[in-house]
Amino acid sequence: MKSRLRVLRAERGWTQEQLGTAIGVSRQAINALEAERHDPSLDLAYRIAVAFGVSVENVFPNPHHQGTKP
């Protein structure tokens, strides 16, 4: 799943280790998310969004969103 994780993390000057510790996952998990080797659970996506202070869709753009709202 595509994400803005790497960009958001770089903007804040956080390492993968720091972000992982903040949300309770391993550095490997952060690396896998950034490399699109792991699709996060909803719970993890929410925890990441809270850590950055943004909405989930600001971190993980919805791949099913068609661009127009019904």
Partner 1 sequence: MDDGWPSSRPYVIGSTLMWILFLLAIWLLAWGSEGDRLPLAARSAIAIVLALAVAGQFIAAYRLIARQDEYVRGITAKRMIAAAGVTITAAVFAGVAEQFLGLRDLPMWLVYPFYWGAFGMVTPFINDTRP
Structure tokens at 5: 């994780």
In the complex, what is the shortest distance from the CB of residue 42 to partner 1, in angstroms, rounded to a whole number? 11
Q: Which is nearer to partner 1, 63 or 70 (CB)?
A: 63
Q: Where on the phi/psi map is residue 19: left (φ > 0), alpha (ψ -120 to 50), or beta?
A: alpha
Determine the Cα–Cα distance for residues 57 and 55; give it in Å rounded to an integer: 5
Size of the site for partner 1 (CB under 8 A): 13
The pattern of x and - marking residues 37 through 66 that bind partner 1 according to CB under 8 A reads xxxxx--x----------------------
